[in-house]
Amino acid sequence: MNRTTAENPLKKLDDWDDFVASRYKENKDREEFRNYDPDVNPGVAEFYRLNHALQTVDFVQDKEREYLPLQKEQKTIWEAAEFLNTLVDDSDPDTDLTQIEHLLQTSEAIRMDGHPRWFVLTGFIHDLGKVLCLYGEPQWAVVGDTFPVGCAYSDSIVFPEYFRANPDSQNPLYQELYGIYEPHCGLENVHMSWGHDEYIYQATRNYLPEPAHYMLRYHSFYSAHRHGAYRHLMSPHDEEMFQWVRKFNPYDLYSKGAAKPDLPEILPYYQDLIAEYFPGKIQW
């Protein structure tokens, strides 16, 4: 196994998204429960084993220092989407959606439900942070459920047993309920495991309204928005804003079955929409 395969056990990034969608599907059948079984789904299990073992406080702070000054390059939103589309996983090009098609299925489902334009735009950009893969980051540092580092892990995070291999689990302070944080300090003061959510939030935060910030920044924080964990770190304002994260989540999870978007037909709408909120090239 070469180094890349060892770090990237998912055949494609979408395998994680598909696993999450199956986890939260209503009326799961027996077969679907078996998706948690490492024998049935070895790529997903290995992916979480790496993610939970390697996302430490030190790792997260290194990545924040590396990426959050946004000094990589300048690109328009559309250029970033086309760049993300060059991501070639080991997938079947006939049946799989491209990255842009997943973004458009999400945003079109939001548009069909009559939500405001900024909400549609948020759907379109929500996974652009996955360009981290093209900057050389392994899958476990790009996708996966996100969680706070520097405090006790919630049992409602998927595969919690894999945290035993994380060096932070040997640090007594990091294993206290509040760890390095204060009660109800607000999520803006909490370091989340590193991934595509934080990156797209930071790259676009100056251009979108606050509910969009929460949707982007916490869309993979399933233990909080699905299971109600980590309320002891959230401020009353976070609690209020999480209604938007929950409003967004079904469009991310369940829009995949929809028809393939007809790009030439809807492109002008998206070009106008992007131009309404973004100044052209932005910093990444």
Question: Where in 42-81 is the site for Fe ion (CB under 5 A)?
Answer: none
- Shortest separation between residue 236's beta carbon and Fe ion, angstroms: 26
Toward Fe ion, which CB reaches closer, 108 or 127?
127
- In this structure, what is the dihedral angle of CA atoms 250, 280, 191, 24, given to the nearest 10 degrees? 10
Interaction mask 224-263, Fe ion, x per CB under 5 A: ----------------------------x-----------
Which lies closer to Fe ion via its Cβ, residue 151 or residue 158? Answer: 158
Residue type, 58: D
Binding to Fe ion (CB under 5 A) within 126-185 occurs at: 127
Neighbours of 141 (CB within 10 A): 22
Min CB(126)–Fe ion separation in Å: 6
C-alpha–C-alpha distance, residues 131 and 34, integer Å? 31
Comparing CB distances to Fe ion, the nearer of 127 and 145 is 127
Q: How far is the CB of 255 from Fe ion (least distance, A)?
A: 9
User: Which residues is 192 bridged to in the sheet?
Assistant: 148
Task: Tell me which stretch binds Fe ion (CB under 5 A): 21-29, 57-65, 120-128, 144-152.
Answer: 120-128
**Closest approach of Fe ion to the CB of residue 54, in Å:** 19
By CB under 5 A, residue 198 contacts Fe ion: no
Write down the least CB distance from residue 115 to Fe ion, Å.
Answer: 16
Other beta carbons less than 10 A from residue 262's beta carbon = 10
Rounded to 5 degrees, what are φ and ψ at 91?
-125, 175
Query: What is the chain's percent helix, strand, coil content, to nearest 5?
Result: 60, 0, 40
Map residue 249 onto helix, strand or coil: helix
Please give the size of the binding site for Fe ion, defined by CB under 5 A: 2
Q: How far is CA 103 from CA 120, 126, 192, 252, in A?
A: 10, 7, 23, 9
Name the site residues for Fe ion (rule: CB under 5 A). 127, 252
